[in-house]
Amino acid sequence: MGDQSHSQRQSRENEGQVDDDHFDARALDEVVTFTSELIRIDTTNHGSGDCRERPAAEYAAERLADAGLEPTLLERTPGRTNVVARIEGTDPGADALLVHGHLDVVPAQAADWSVDPFSGEVRDGIVWGRGAIDMKNMDAMILAVVRRWARAGVRPRRDLVIAFTADEEASAEDGSGFLADRHAALFEGCTEGISESGAFTFHDGRGNQIYPIAAGERGTGWLKLTARGKAGHGSKVNHANAVSRLAAAIARIGEHRWPVRLTPTVRASLVELATLYGLETDPEAPGFDVDALLEKLGTTADLVAPTVRNSANPTMLQSGYKVNVIPGEAVAYVDGRFLPGGEDEFRRTLDRLTGPDVDWEFHHREVALQAPVDSPTYARMRAAVQEFAPEGHVVPYCMSGGTDAKQFSRLGITGYGFSPLRTPEGFDYQALFHGVDECVPVDALHFGVRVLDRFLRTA
Task: Kindly report the number of other CB atoms within 10 A of residue 248's CB atom.
Answer: 17
On whether both 181 and 252 belong to a single domain, the answer is no
The CATH code of the domain that includes 101 is 3.40.630.10
DSSP sequence for 376-412: HHHHHHHHHHHHH-TTEEEEEEEESS--THHHHGGGT
Domain boundary among 303, 338, 366: 366
Verify that 293 and 431 share a domain, yes or no. no
Residue 380 lies in a domain: no
Same domain, 189 and 323: no
pLDDT (tens digit, 0 to 9) for every residue of the chain, 459 residues total? 334 444 444 444 444 444 455 688 999 999 999 999 999 999 999 999 999 999 999 999 999 999 999 999 999 999 999 999 999 999 999 999 999 999 999 999 999 999 999 999 999 999 999 999 999 999 999 999 999 999 999 999 999 999 999 999 999 999 999 999 999 999 999 999 999 999 999 999 999 999 999 999 999 999 999 999 999 999 999 999 999 999 999 999 999 999 999 999 999 999 999 999 999 999 999 999 999 999 999 999 999 999 999 999 999 999 999 999 999 999 999 999 999 999 999 999 999 999 999 999 999 999 999 999 999 999 999 999 999 999 999 999 999 989 999 999 999 999 999 999 999 999 999 889 999 999 999 999 999 999 999 999 999
Q: Cβ neighbours of residue 4 under 8 Å, at least 6 residues apart?
A: 12, 19
Domain contains 392 = no
Do residue 286 and residue 177 come from a single domain? Answer: no
The answer to the question of residue 420 being in a domain is: yes
Asked if residue 390 is part of any domain, the answer here is no
Residue 297's domain comprises: 220-366
Asked if 29 and 144 sit in the same domain, the reply is yes
Kindly give the interhelix angle for 442-458 and 25-40, rounded to the nearest 10 degrees.
110
The answer to whether residues 268 and 314 belong to one domain is: yes
Number of domains in the chain: 2
- Asked whether residue 279 is domain-assigned, the answer is yes
| Same domain (yes/no): 113, 161 | yes
Do residues 428 and 302 touch, judged by C-beta distance below 8 A?
no
192 and 226 in a single domain? The answer is: no
Do both 298 and 158 map to the same domain? Answer: no
| Domain endpoint, select from 319, 341, 366 | 366
Nearest-5° Cα angle at 429, 101 to 263: 75
DSSP 27-90: HHHHHHHHHHHHHHS--B--SSS----HHHHHHHHHHHHHTT---EEEESSTT-EEEEEEE--S
**Is 391 a domain residue?**
no
Estimate to the nearest angstrom the gap between the alpha carbon of 79 and the chain centroid: 23
CATH number at residue 237: 3.30.70.360
- Residues with catalytic roles: 104, 168
Q: How far apart are CA 246 and CA 355, in angstroms?
A: 10
Identify whether 234 is part of a domain.
yes
Residues 164 and 235 in one domain: no
Contacts by 3-12, CB closer than 8 A, 24 or more apart? 10/152, 10/153, 10/154
Q: Are residues 22 and 141 in the same domain?
A: yes
- The verdict on 183 and 224 lying in the same domain is no
